[in-house]
Every structure is written in C-alpha cells, then in structure tokens.
Amino acid sequence: MAHILIVDDDPAVRGNTARLLSGKGHTVVEAESGDQALRYVDEAAVDLVIMDIVMPKKGGVEAIMEIHARHPRIPAVVMSGKVPLGTAAVDSLMEHCGSKAVLSKPFTAAELLAAVEKALACSS
C-alpha cells in the first residue's frame, strides 16, 4: 500500500479523506498548508500527494510545483471546490506541475479511489 500525504486547510476534508484511504490500507499523513507539505516530503518517503489548490499562505499550485521540482517521482492529485477543474488551461497547468488526476469537491469515495489508483499507476 502507499504512503499518502493529504494537504488541505479544511480539517474535515483532510480527516474524511484520510479515514477513507486508511480504511483501504494506505498509510496516511495530513498537512494543513503547502509549507507543511513541503517540509514533510523533504523529510519522509511519500508515494502520493493529494493537494487542495486554494489555501491561505502558500497555495496548492505553488506547493505542488515546488514538490514536483524537488521530487519529480512523487505523483500528485489536485482537488478544489473553488477552481474550475477540467478546463484546458487548468488541466495544462496541473500536468505541468506533475498532477496525475484532479478532483472537484465534493467528490465521492469512488472518485477519490479512482484518482489515487490512477496517480499511483503513473508512478510505477
């Protein structure tokens, strides 16, 4: 199973996502900011980052780009309830910064699991 870092400033989103993925056998850690996520991936082996795009201070796009620059092997799933995911411009940006899948909040358990499976398959 994978070691997954979930990054979201909303503790309910982080917690619900973590519980679902932990229940599927993954090891899950949580971060509430892009800066906290960067520190974690620099210190620990991570197989996947699930990152919210819109967060205070260091936003998800900036954090994902920094993670991808430092650790290009770590795939990312981006999620947002505020950014219109699925548009050509956003998809191009996400691909450039290493995103392997996108999730629009609110998302279902099936959508989350499919995105995680897709991203992990890309890193194999």
Query: pLDDT tens, 24-81?
Result: 999 999 999 999 999 999 999 999 999 998 888 888 888 988 998 999 899 999 888 7
Beta bridge partners of 5: 29, 49
Q: 81-90: which pairs have CB atoms within 8 A and are 24 or more residues apart?
A: 81/54, 81/105, 81/106, 82/53, 82/54, 83/53, 83/54
Per-residue pLDDT at 80? 82
Which domain does 88 fall in, by range? 3-123
Measured between alpha carbons, how far is 84 from 101 in angstroms, rounded to an integer?
A: 14
Q: What is the CATH number for 107?
A: 3.40.50.2300
Per-residue pLDDT at 92? 65
Alpha-carbon dihedral sign for residues 9, 24, 65, 106: negative
Tens digits of per-residue pLDDT, 87-96? 665 666 666 6
**Structural domains in the chain (count):** 1
Higher pLDDT, 45 or 97: 45
Per-residue pLDDT at 86? 63
- 107: pLDDT strictly greater than 80: yes
